[in-house]
């Protein structure tokens, strides 16, 4: 991305918000264009400034970060949303992805991870705190045998899934693998069918929750 990455930051805890700004302000890649202490004010700032990224606490007065995320995705789709959260529950993570959130970062590690997260999201890829990714993998209840599920995929489908787990979009994957976007979309459909997945974010959730298994899985014997 050329130029500074414009940010709106919203958190109802002033000290935590100040800590984020102290981490981000020295970074020349970022420009904070607005700060808010509740969801309504955050949404108003996003509508006004249309930043590249809205960094929102998941729990705020008036409207929550989740509800604000839904409104932003609908009204200002060019703004990516990153949620700050104390929640490690899989259900909350699922709701966040369904709301169109592109980044999900644990507040207790935000000061260390925030810069990497924002750069990744600004590049068009999804990002999740590594600690949360590991916990989701260890405690998932759906698709209990991830490795067995992955064994049903062809080598081409596994390659696509590995890139999905890294947050790549279909055009990104097509460029990386030298395929057409339509081919990648077909692979995504086949993967979902083989894994029994449905819903707009189901494949991304599966890829993030099973990232370790996906990265370590042996290559399939068939390319197609």
CATH number of 143-216: 1.10.10.10
Q: Give the per-residue pLDDT at 210.
A: 74
Q: Give the per-residue pLDDT at 140.
A: 46
DSSP state of 219: P
- Which listed CATH number (3.40.50.1000, 3.60.20.10, 3.10.180.10, 3.40.50.2300) goes with 5-138? 3.40.50.2300
Q: Give the per-residue pLDDT at 143.
A: 45
Q: Residue 15 and residue 21: Cα distance in Å, rounded?
A: 10
- Give the mean pLDDT per block of 10 residues along the chain (224 residues): 87 92 93 95 96 94 90 94 84 82 89 92 88 58 55 86 87 92 92 81 80 65 40
Q: Give the per-residue pLDDT at 1.
A: 57
Q: Give the per-residue pLDDT at 222.
A: 39
Among left, alpha and beta (phi > 0; psi -120 to 50; other), residue 52 is alpha
Q: Give the per-residue pLDDT at 74.
A: 92
Determine the Cα angle at 191 with ends 150 and 187, to 5°. Answer: 125
Q: Residue 149 phi/psi, 5° resolution?
A: -65, -45
Q: Where are the domains of the chain?
A: 5-138, 143-216
pTM for the model stands at 0.66
Q: Residue 108 and residue 85: Cα distance in Å, rounded?
A: 9
In CATH terms, are 5-138 and 143-216 the same topology? no
């Amino acid at each position: 991305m050329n130029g500074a990455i414009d940010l709106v930051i919203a958190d109802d805890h002033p000290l935590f918000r100040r800590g984020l700004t102290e981490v981000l302000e020295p970074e020349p890649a970022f420009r904070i264009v607005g700060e808010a202490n509740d969801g309504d004010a955050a949404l108003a700032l996003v509508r006004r400034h249309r930043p590249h990224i809205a960094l929102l606490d998941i729990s705020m007065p008036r409207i929550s970060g989740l509800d604000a995320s839904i409104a932003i995705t609908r009204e200002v789709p060019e703004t990516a949303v990153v949620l700050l959260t104390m929640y490690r529950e899989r259900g909350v993570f699922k709701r966040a992805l369904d709301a169109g959130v592109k980044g999900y970062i644990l507040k207790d590690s935000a000061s260390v991870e925030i810069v990497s997260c924002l750069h990744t999201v600004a590049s068009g890829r999804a990002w999740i705190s590594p600690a949360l990714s590991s916990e989701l993998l260890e405690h998932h209840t759906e698709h209990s045998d991830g490795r067995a599920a992955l064994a049903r995929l062809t080598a081409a489908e596994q390659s696509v899934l590995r890139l999905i787990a890294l947050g790549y979009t279909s055009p990104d994957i097509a460029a990386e693998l030298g395929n057409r976007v339509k081919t990648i979309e077909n692979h995504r459909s086949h993967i979902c069918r083989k894994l029994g997945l449905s819903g707009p974010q189901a494949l991304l959730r599966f890829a993030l929750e099973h990232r370790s298994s996906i990265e370590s899985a042996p290559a399939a014997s068939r390319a197609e």
